[in-house]
Every structure is written in C-alpha cells, then in structure tokens.
Amino acid sequence: MLNSEEKKVSVLHKRIEILRDSLHMTSKDNDADYFSLDYNDDAQEYFDFQNMDSDIKKIREEILTLNHQENGNPLVPYGVIDGQKCIIDKMKFINHRWIIADFYAGAIHGEVLIKYFFSKEEPTQFSTIETVLYPSR
C-alpha cells in the first residue's frame, strides 16, 4: 500500500512539474506581447474600439505611402543609400503613440521608432524618435 501511494505522489509531482513548465512558457509569451497595442487596454481606449482596426489600417497605409517619395520614406533619416531608397516594410504598433518599423535599402536594413498622433479628421502626424542601422547582410 505504501509503494502504491509513493507512486501516486511521484506521478503527481511530475504533473506539477509539467504544469509549471507550461505556465512558464505561457508567461514568456505574455511578456513578448506586453508591449503591443493588441494587448494594451489603456492604449486601445485612445481609439474608438469599433473602428480601431480601420484606424490602424489607415495609419499603416499612410506610412507605406511615404515609401513612394523620391528619396524614400522620410521617417527613415538616411535618404538614399548606395542608390537605394529606404523603404519601410514591417511595423508593429507598440501603443497609441509609438510604432516600431523595419526598413531596408538594398542589402542594408534597420529599425525605426516612430511617434505618431492620430486624428480621424486630419492626416496622422509622424516623427522619428530613433533609428538603428545594421550592416549589410
């Protein structure tokens, strides 16, 4: 009887260990999403919840439209590098004020942190906070 109970306890300890590992992995995923508009209720309050997706789409399109300027996207302060315009291709909305975006110019790439102010009535105002430029791949 004692052996049977010890086996049950051992199995329960293994289950607890598995659950702790699962909980730890879930916690890591939540940490990665912590700085994301998708999971930030306070930042979402800035937008009208019913129209938030369309507002974000509008802001995204405004940024991508800037790629078509002669010297590339003006939110990337490097202009033309080795004859290539700087183009923003990916972006993540951190909150209702900041966006982090990936850009490239040929083999060179980097990231730009953008501050924005959205208004339904006017074009979104953008300003570059900081950039990181990586060496060519």
3-state secondary structure of 8: helix
Q: Cβ contacts of residue 113 below 8 Å, gap of 6+?
A: 98, 99, 100, 128, 129, 130, 131
pLDDT in tens, the chain (137 residues): 777 788 877 877 778 777 777 766 665 556 667 788 888 888 888 887 678 889 999 999 999 999 999 999 999 999 898 899 999 999 999 999 999 999 999 889 999 999 999 988 899 999 999 999 997 76
Length of the chain: 137
Cα–Cα nearest to 118, from 61, 39, 35: 61
Question: pTM, whole model, 2 decimals?
Answer: 0.75
